Amino acid sequence: MLRVAFRLHASRLRPLRCFHFSARRFAQPDVLTSLEASPIVQAVSRRMRRRSELQSQLSETLNSPEDKDRMKQISMLEPLRNAWEEWENTRNLLKETTLLLEDPDPSMRSLAGEEYSELVSKLSTMAQEKFPSLLVPPSETSHLSAMIEIKAGVGGSESALFVSDMIRMYTAVAGHMGWKAVVTGKNENENGGMKDAVLEVKGEKAYDTLRWESGVHRVQRVPATETSGRVHTSTVAVLVLPLEEDSGQEVKDDLFTMDQVRIEVMRSRGAGGQHVNKTESAVRLTHIPTGITVSMQDERSQHQNRRKAFQVLRARLMDRKLSQETVDRRDMRRSLVKSADRSEKVRTYNYTQDRVTDHRLGMSIMNIDSVMDGEALQEFLTELGRKHQEELLEDAALS
């Protein structure tokens, strides 16, 4: 940087000559103009204008509530402002270096040429990497674990068999990712399938990575029970909910208050107490403001079912909050959001063609076992995560 600064000084001594060669310079494609016109750089520039506005709106005393809010916004833009200053410095250097490209002294021209390409590459790195990383705020949900609810859909017992297959698939991928997966609830049917199951996946970024699994998964294969060899199409519905670490307490948080939740026991016990020793532990919670109900009867005690039911209620409310935030933030036409309506078919597992296709990515993997054993599923998860990041960036570039 220092070296450049010195030569900048020199360039000011020769303004007229540069002017003389200006026609040739403009004939070249103007890298800087196209960089500056990129949506990302425009977005950063808009945020900087917004920052100046905020600063000019600050009162002298700096202690009104509005001031607090403005200061907060300003400080949140601080990392971006530092990058922007660097961008502007580099841009100014580039402008001046451009002039030197036409210097009559050949050695000066060659030095300027080197300098020029360094600066251009620095600017494009900033536009393509640094700005995007600063424009998209870091995920606020990266600490959350995931609760994967899987339900058999169309296709009866064949669909239930695929629920078991998917539980194995997600358990395997959790192993690859270093997460801990536990089946916390399941309703098995008589054929070794599951009508529904719940898998808890605990670990860093588990929810962020798995959340795009929500939706309808379609399986096409010849069922084990099918004698004629006909291919059946069945579906399984997956819902991935955000899960906070269970602290063991019915913690208070901003998702609900206890007086908003109606707790009901499910059946009459007659006289109850010593008169009855039948295990009736089912519990139902109703979150009155939203009408969300959670019924739980997996466990053998009231206390356990209640605790689990609260965990599910918290996950549902968190999911609702996150979806609402997503909708508030971005345009509904974008693909991942559309799939957030959860009735959309997201993936097809075609056994006869040995192929798994993700419909949102338009991407197929031609080895079904590698997906089902979790290895290749990671490719889909990575791509979906990348797509999400790209969409967030597009949003940021538009705002």
Cα gap 347→359, rounded to integer Å: 6
Are 360 and 216 in contact, with CB atoms under 8 Å apart? no
Are 262 and 227 in contact, with CB atoms under 8 Å apart? no
Residue number with CB closer to other proteins (161 or 336): 161
Residue number with CB closer to other proteins (104 or 192): 192
Residue number with CB closer to other proteins (2 or 258): 258
Cα gap 212→337, rounded to integer Å: 10
Residue 339's Cα: distance from chain center in Å? Answer: 13
* Mask for 5-44, x = binds other proteins (CB under 8 A): ----------------------------------------
Distances (CA, A) of 308 to 147, 267, 294, 295: 12, 18, 10, 10
* Mask for 187-206, x = binds other proteins (CB under 8 A): xx-xxx--------------
Q: Radius of gyration over alpha carbons of the chain, in Å?
A: 29
Nearest approach, Cβ of residue 225 and other proteins (Å):
12
Nearest approach, Cβ of residue 158 and other proteins (Å):
15
Interacting residues with other proteins between 275 and 294 (CB under 8 A):
275-281
Q: Which residues contact residue 247 at a Cβ distance below 8 angstroms, ignoring those fewer than 6 apart? A: none
Nearest approach, Cβ of residue 226 and other proteins (Å):
17
* Count of residues in contact with other proteins, rule CB under 8 A: 29
Residue number with CB closer to other proteins (281 or 357): 281
Among 239, 283, 280, 278, residue whose Cα is nearest residue 261 = 283
* Mask for 229-248, x = binds other proteins (CB under 8 A): -------------------x
Cα gap 303→310, rounded to integer Å: 11
Are 207 and 144 in contact, with CB atoms under 8 Å apart? yes
Cα gap 349→365, rounded to integer Å: 10
Nearest approach, Cβ of residue 274 and other proteins (Å):
5
Nearest approach, Cβ of residue 323 and other proteins (Å):
32
Interacting residues with other proteins between 288 and 347 (CB under 8 A):
297-304
List contacts with other proteins (CB under 8 A). 187-188, 190-192, 248, 263, 265, 268-269, 271-281, 297-304
